[in-house]
Amino acid sequence: MSQNLALFGAPISPFVRKVRLVLAYKGLDYEQVNVVPFGPDKPVEFEENSPLGKIPLFRTGDQYISDSEVICAYLEKAFPENPLLPEDPILAARALWFSQYASTVMITAIGAHLFAERVLAPFVFKREPIEADIKLAVETEIPAILDYLEGELTDDFLVGNSMTFADIMVGGMFMTLHYCNERVDAATHPKVAAYVERLLSEPVFAKTIAEEKTMMQAFIG
């Protein structure tokens, strides 16, 4: 940790996972400080330096950076080895688009409507799940996402022929989908199913999945 990098957040958050995947892809060592945003006893350092109280928060040297997109932009500029944003402006825009799509549309369906209700409600919030949200996600929102991605995939990765921010954030959302015991059906979405299988076996994803496994087992058995 020679550069004094630290990431504040809970690995279960897709926004935190995105930063963890980027740090792993770039081979950077860092300190992970666990922070549950809605919970009590948050570290003083987090409280004092996170303007919105949201995770992730990142520390580099004596500076603090909020928001996963901003943290990723910083990491790409400060540590340009193993780039995740293509040089070509159009490809770069496309990579950022998919990251944005995952951070909005996919996180609403897979994170807020499915994961929060099927996993967090019973195991963490200790309340009945909102079945209408699960139904909306499974029957309408997620099929629409898969249809869209099926039409966009032309290669091994979403943009160009190497991993970009697009795959980092979209792949992270498929990790969340798997935690909900849902899989992409290869009969209806063959390209997405093959893409997800290939992507999640890339070393950076395999490492992150292994790290999260113990934690998720505590929730879903």
Ligand X SMILES: N[C@@H](CCC(=O)N[C@@H](CS)C(=O)NCC(=O)O)C(=O)O
**Site residues for ligand X per CB under 6 A:** 13, 15, 37, 53-56, 67-69
Separation of alpha carbons 35 and 153, rounded Å: 36
Q: How far is the CB of 12 from ligand X (least distance, A)?
A: 8
Q: How far is the CB of 24 from ligand X (least distance, A)?
A: 18
Whole-number Cα distances in Å, 76 to 58, 85, 214: 14, 7, 30
Separation of alpha carbons 166 and 168, rounded Å: 6
Q: Which is nearer to ligand X, 24 or 192 (CB)?
A: 24
Q: Which is nearer to ligand X, 69 or 202 (CB)?
A: 69
CB 25 within 8 A of CB 84: yes
- The residue type of 69 is E
Q: How far is the CB of 214 from ligand X (least distance, A)?
A: 20
Separation of alpha carbons 196 and 160, rounded Å: 16
Q: Which is nearer to ligand X, 28 or 120 (CB)?
A: 120
Q: Which is nearer to ligand X, 7 or 146 (CB)?
A: 7
Q: How far is the CB of 2 from ligand X (least distance, A)?
A: 25
Separation of alpha carbons 73 and 85, rounded Å: 9
Q: Which is nearer to ligand X, 137 or 192 (CB)?
A: 137
Tell me which residue of 68, 65, 84, 87 sits closest to 76, measured CA to CA. Answer: 84
Q: How far is the CB of 189 from ligand X (least distance, A)?
A: 26
